[in-house]
A and B are shown apart, each in its own frame.
Chain A
Amino acid sequence: MRTHTLVWREIFERKSQLFTSFLAILLGITVIVSIKNISFYSEKAVAREMDSLGANVLVLPKSTSLQEYYSADMHGEEIPEEYVARLAMSDLEGLDNLSPKLSMPVTLGGKRFTLTGILPKSEFQAKAAWQGAGIFSRPAGCGVIGTVPGADEPPDPKALVRKRVIETLESDEVLVGADVASSLGLREDQTLALSGKEFRVTALLPQTGTVDDSRVFAHLHTVQELYGKGPVINAIEVVGCCEQISKGLVQKINQLLPEAKVVTIMQIAEAQIKINQLMSRLGTIFLVIIVLVGGSGIANYMYANVFERRREIGTLMALGADSWFVLRIFLLKALLLGTVGGIGGYVLGTVMAVVLGPRLAGVTVLPMPLLALWAVAISAGLALAASYFPARRAARLDPCATFREI
């Protein structure tokens, strides 16, 4: 005889009474696991989408509209370059990349193009004060998929097209957009004169179908010299971790830079984000439901169980069982109930998520073993908490009263 034998035998003796409580906890955990599993992969899908877009937050001068920025990038308004330092030095989480830009019109071969000054990543790293500020480190819980520009890829100037940031760019180097290159017949390593300054073409950028194709990219500080207005920029393109954007990154940047306009292009993934928010809310609602309904169901069952077994408890006490032993047999029963409910709920919930995920959220869902621990912890914790007071009542029963009542 072991304590768990006593508990196990009793469970099977009265399994029909246990069934309802078990079913409540099993279904509750099933739904929560399913929602959490689908949410995780749905958030991943958003993160992937946002990552593929490159920059997703823009810091612009107050009077500039987003349309103006996208149409020409030359709205004529400036913000101080110092804003980049403010962002870099801040403790904001979720800033994956900062890319300050200054654009000015240039004429090449009788055609007007845009010369855009960018700050290579090496410039950020060169500033000792900015190191460790965390702007290129992934914050905890950031759901962005893919790579941080330059962090684990060999430096490739062409990556600028997608990543919006390049590793190095010397003061006399330029990257040329596809339309500029084709209309002027430019090749790599060729020299180019822009506003009276000689530049070497480091790379020809691939076709993107955006305004970038009509741009020539040079070092920000070189463009600032040509622009002649000191250390100013037109915009800061920010690659923000989309999860942090959902948590109010834009508002936080706004607080940090009240004189600037901060906009996000989250609406591109709006539908998916809405599904995620719905899932998140549903998850919370179901958690509350399971705690209330499942918890009260278990507590109710346990109280009834204690009442039904009071004679047995009295007998055990007469045989020498102390209150801790009695408490333990009820809590062990709750633990078994919760653990089995948690494991069962995880298995059912995962199957449900894998089957329904593509239909509900349009994403492929895979099993998440970590959720098993979470499900068992929630389920067992709930069962134990709900059973504690009934178990304590059992442990405090007056043994002789239990005989007298029957």
Chain B
Amino acid sequence: MLTMENVTKSYPHRGRIVTALAGATIDVGRGDFVAVVGPSGSGKSTLLLILGGMLSPSAGRVLLEGQSIYDLSADQRARLRKKKIGFVFQTFNLIPYLSALENVEVPLHLAGVAPRQQESRAAALLERVGLGDRLDHKPSELSVGQQQRVALARMLANDPAVILADEPTGNLDPETGQQVIGFFEECHREGRTVIMVTHDPRAAQRAKRTLRLSDGAILHEPDARGKLHVA
């Protein structure tokens, strides 16, 4: 489903070359649920951004369903994300001046869905995450947990095959965090591929596989069942 082949990401910083990811090779199968763990600055977010077609690697290839995504233009990658990838961010990244309903409608609008259908689908998704009574609330009028649930509903708007989550429980209390992880498990059961960067060991335990990163290198996979190549 999603493959990284010997991917390196380095960039200049104050006259030095910093390597964020060093020769990472992974292969994530369809319907897998992978937790990426590691200390801060180990390259977890870089790995996620590269997998999502948001950050070009310095070397190596990334394949989504056999297609090398960095052989595509930036706009073609944007269209690919729109169709196949759902992002969740640690800080939710909701658009502050739009209501919960409108935030969920954004990816549907980008996908060219008609306004009436956008509204019914967005309302159904918000109902699913338990926010059916908060459709018209702006992010600032919602609790942190509710904001993350709006972000989860938005992530599912275009029914993505792959979900990339960057510290989705990082800003949440443990109870809400567990609810969010439960939601990812539900997505996994629906057959979606979930890759989640997390600091939370309890969240990582609920994934099917764990990928540990340190200084940009993949160290090992404690409970590997799928294919994983250590860099």
Q: Are B118 and A319 in contact (CB under 8 A)?
A: no
Q: Are A320 and B111 in contact (CB under 8 A)?
A: yes
With both chains docked as a complex, state the minimum distance between the C-beta of A322 and any C-beta of chain B, in angstroms. Answer: 4
How many angstroms between the C-alpha atoms of A316 and B106 in the bound complex? 8
Q: Are B75 and A324 in contact (CB under 8 A)?
A: yes
Task: Please indicate the chain A residues that have their CB under 8 angstroms from the CB of B82 in the complex.
Answer: 319-321
Task: Please indicate the chain A residues that have their CB under 8 angstroms from the CB of B115 in the complex.
Answer: 1-2
Task: Please indicate the chain B residues that have their CB under 8 angstroms from the CB of A2 in the complex.
Answer: 109, 115
How many angstroms between the C-alpha atoms of A322 and B97 in the bound complex? 21
Q: Are A319 and B154 in contact (CB under 8 A)?
A: yes
- Stretch in contact with the other chain, from B27-35, B49-57, B201-209, B214-222: B49-57
Q: Are A322 and B78 in contact (CB under 8 A)?
A: yes
- Interface check B107, CB cutoff 8 A: yes
How many angstroms between the C-alpha atoms of A312 and B92 in the bound complex? 11
Task: Please indicate the chain B residues that have their CB under 8 angstroms from the CB of A319 in the complex.
Answer: 81-82, 87, 106-107, 110, 154
Given contacts A1-B109, A400-B49, A403-B89, contact A322 B96 (CB under 8 A): no
With both chains docked as a complex, state the minimum distance between the C-beta of B49 and any C-beta of chain A, in angstroms. Answer: 5
Q: Are B78 and A321 in contact (CB under 8 A)?
A: yes
Instruction: Identify the closest chain B residue to A323 (Cβ).
Output: B75
How many angstroms between the C-alpha atoms of A321 and B109 in the bound complex? 10
Given contacts A319-B110, A400-B55, contact A1 B102 (CB under 8 A): yes
- Interface check A6, CB cutoff 8 A: yes
- Interface check B224, CB cutoff 8 A: no
With both chains docked as a complex, state the minimum distance between the C-beta of A380 and any C-beta of chain B, in angstroms. Answer: 24
Quick one: which of B142-177 are within 8 Å of A by CB? 154, 158
Q: Which of A10, A311, A315, A403 contacts B97 (CB 8 A)?
A: A10
Q: How large is the interface on B (under 10, 10 to 19, 20 to 34, 35 or more residues)?
A: 20 to 34
How many angstroms between the C-alpha atoms of A321 and B81 in the bound complex? 9
- Interface check A134, CB cutoff 8 A: no
Instruction: Identify the closest chain A residue to B55 (Cβ).
Output: A400
How many angstroms between the C-alpha atoms of A10 and B91 in the bound complex? 20
Given contacts A1-B118, A319-B87, contact A312 B95 (CB under 8 A): yes
Query: Considering residues B52, B91, B98, which has the most beta carbons from chain A within 10 angstroms of its beta carbon?
Result: B98
Q: Are A318 and B81 in contact (CB under 8 A)?
A: yes
Task: Please indicate the chain A residues that have their CB under 8 angstroms from the CB of B79 in the complex.
Answer: 320, 322
How many angstroms between the C-alpha atoms of A318 and B55 in the bound complex? 11
With both chains docked as a complex, state the minimum distance between the C-beta of B90 and any C-beta of chain A, in angstroms. Answer: 9
Task: Please indicate the chain A residues that have their CB under 8 angstroms from the CB of B81 in the complex.
Answer: 318-320
How many angstroms between the C-alpha atoms of A352 and B89 in the bound complex? 53
Instruction: Identify the closest chain B residue to A8 (Cβ).
Output: B97
How many angstroms between the C-alpha atoms of A391 and B54 in the bound complex? 20
Q: Is the interface of B mostly helix, strand, loop or mixed?
A: helix
Given contacts A3-B109, A318-B52, A320-B107, contact A13 B93 (CB under 8 A): no
How many residue pairs link A and B with beta carbons under 8 A? The number is 80
Instruction: Identify the closest chain A residue to B49 (Cβ).
Output: A400
Quick one: which of A1-43 are within 8 Å of B by CB? 1-3, 5-6, 9-10, 12-13
How many angstroms between the C-alpha atoms of A317 and B154 in the bound complex? 14
Given contacts A1-B106, A1-B118, A400-B55, contact A317 B95 (CB under 8 A): no
How many angstroms between the C-alpha atoms of A375 and B189 in the bound complex? 60
How many angstroms between the C-alpha atoms of A10 and B97 in the bound complex? 6
Q: Are A320 and B78 in contact (CB under 8 A)?
A: yes
- Interface check A399, CB cutoff 8 A: yes
Q: Are B108 and A1 in contact (CB under 8 A)?
A: yes
- Interface check A70, CB cutoff 8 A: no
- Interface check B59, CB cutoff 8 A: no
- Interface check A325, CB cutoff 8 A: yes
Task: Please indicate the chain B residues that have their CB under 8 angstroms from the CB of A400 in the complex.
Answer: 49, 54-55
How many angstroms between the C-alpha atoms of A189 and B45 in the bound complex? 108
Q: Which of A3, A13, A406 contacts B96 (CB 8 A)?
A: A13
Quick one: which of A190-249 are within 8 Å of B by CB? none
Q: Which of A312, A325, A406 contacts B110 (CB 8 A)?
A: A325
Instruction: Identify the closest chain A residue to B122 (Cβ).
Output: A1
Extra 18 A-B pairs, beta carbons < 8 Å, given A2-B115, A319-B106, A323-B74: A1-B115, A10-B97, A13-B96, A315-B95, A317-B54, A317-B78, A318-B54, A319-B87, A320-B81, A320-B82, A320-B110, A320-B158, A321-B78, A321-B110, A322-B74, A400-B55, A403-B93, A406-B91
Interchain residue pairs with CB less than 8 A apart (25): A1-B108, A1-B115, A3-B109, A6-B106, A9-B97, A9-B98, A12-B97, A13-B96, A312-B93, A312-B96, A316-B95, A316-B106, A316-B110, A317-B54, A318-B54, A318-B87, A318-B89, A318-B93, A319-B81, A322-B75, A322-B78, A323-B74, A323-B78, A400-B55, A406-B91
Interface residues of A (CB under 8 A from B): 1-3, 5-6, 9-10, 12-13, 311-312, 314-325, 398-400, 403, 406
**Shortest 4 CB-CB contacts between residues of A and residues of B:** A320-B82, A13-B97, A1-B105, A322-B75
